[in-house]
Structure 1
Amino acid sequence: MNEGEFTELLVASRSGDQVAWSSLVRLVYTDLQRLARRQRSHNAIPTTLGTTGLVHESYMRLAGTGKDHIENRKHFLNLASRIMRQVLCDYARLRLRDKRGGGVKHEELTDIEVEEQSEAQNLIWIDELLTKLEAENPTWARVVECRFFTGLTDDETAEALGLTLRTAQRNWHDARKWLADHLE
């Protein structure tokens, strides 16, 4: 679906057209599934949060923003990237909190649990770095959200952020360099 069709359905749904809203919900859900599958296949971050869980939680948060707040497909992709980052980081924090136990009898962790805990800690670390990057260069931070947390392509990232393809590519390169320099 192109930008014009998405916006047309969005406008119609705001005018009370329930058929348009139902169509838009199906499209948004399908887009979220595609983005979540892509994100899960490209990034080794919380393996215990499945694609379906990521899609449902992201969808619930997106639906909570209300259709009146989504401007167009570009805005939706940008918002979805931010929400997926929040969902993944919230989930990682919850996993780490649960693993700390709060007075519950501690048991030895399995190799899988150790890996999950390490993935969750790495995700929180990346989120903290991204927050620092956001203070220095908000556009680079948005590009990282789109590429890393949602798995958007160069073209989709450029579309979501309203950038030219070359600018999105350059920002992704520069943001990765910044992150690499700050990983120490």
Structure 2
Amino acid sequence: MESRSEVTQLLCQLKDGQDEVYEKLYPLIYEELRKLAYSHMRRQSPDHTLSKTELVHEAYLKMIDQSKINFNDRGHFLAIASRCMRQILIDYARKKTAKKRGGQKKDLTYIDELFKAQNQKTQELLDIDAALNRLEKLNSRLSKVVEMRFFGEMTIQETANALEVSESTVKRDWMKARGWLYKELKARFEVE
């Protein structure tokens, strides 16, 4: 518990512009970032070339590279870290399917089914990202709830604290967002 209050104190120092605090913060938050990375990576195909450790480092570097992010507390910091991890994985998926790299066309020297399964997982991630971007335009908070609950595996309470709303609001938002995403993704798959 002491490290949680220390994390909050360090985040307050960051708000005051003390950038050297990142070096003290990283060891305290590292294990939680690894748990976030694990939850993100377990949804990826088994042969994904980005490791959990690399995802943690990429996300952390992306966060400290921002000019001014105001972290309210530990939960808010983890929510932003989760979003960064999601963006990194989406960028990775986009690059993997980019037309300039041959897109989804693969040599037939490998087992076709393996590639088919891998491409489906990559496409699912891109579809979810596109749906979340549409949801964000309609209702930003619903999109944030999905990021925190689904990608960040944050609890209702942690999500409520990070968004500064009540737990019952998060529960309602979570139900609305899941329903909206279900309809959106179901319609996408029925078209194909």
Structure 2 length-normalised TM: 0.78
**1:113 matched residue in structure 2:** 115
CA contact (8 A) 2:143 2:177 kept: yes
**1:96 matched residue in structure 2:** 97
Q: Which amino acid aligns with 2:171?
A: Q
The reply on whether 1:69 has 2:69 as its aligned counterpart is yes
CA contact (8 A) 1:95 1:117 kept: no
Counterpart Cα distance in 1 of 2:125 and 2:17:
40
Per-residue CA deviation, residues 132-176 of structure 1 (Å, 9 max, x unaligned), is: 111111111001111222222222222222222221121111100
CA contact (8 A) 1:58 1:80 kept: yes
CA contact (8 A) 2:76 2:162 kept: yes
- Percent identity among equivalent residues? 38
CA contact (8 A) 2:40 2:86 kept: no
Pairwise CA RMSD of aligned residues? 2.7
Moved over 6 A (4+): none
Deviates more, 1:159-168 or 1:109-118: 109-118
Q: Which amino acid aligns with 2:115?
A: E
Q: Flag structure 2 segments of 5+ consecutive residues without an equivalent.
A: 188-192
- 1:128-147 matches, within 5 Å, as 128-147=130-149
**1:8 matched residue in structure 2:** 9
SS of the residue aligned with 2:71? Answer: coil
Counterpart Cα distance in 2 of 1:143 and 1:10:
22
CA contact (8 A) 1:74 1:162 kept: no
CA contact (8 A) 2:10 2:25 kept: yes
Deviates more, 1:1-10 or 1:71-80: 1-10
**2:35 matched residue in structure 1:** 34
- 1:10-25 matches, within 5 Å, as 10-12=11-13, 21-25=22-26
**1:172 matched residue in structure 2:** 174
Structure 1 length-normalised TM: 0.81
**1:127 matched residue in structure 2:** 129
Kindly state the Cα deviation for residue 21 of structure 1 after the two structures are TM-superposed. Answer: 4.2
Structure 1 residues 17 and 132, CA gap change in structure 2 (3 angstroms): closer
**1:83 matched residue in structure 2:** 84
Kindly state the Cα deviation for residue 59 of structure 1 after the two structures are TM-superposed. Answer: 1.4
Aligned length: 178
CA contact (8 A) 1:75 1:160 kept: yes
SS of the residue aligned with 1:69? Answer: coil
Counterpart Cα distance in 1 of 2:89 and 2:164:
25
SS of the residue aligned with 1:30? Answer: helix
**2:44 matched residue in structure 1:** 45
CA contact (8 A) 1:36 1:54 kept: yes
SS of the residue aligned with 1:151? Answer: coil
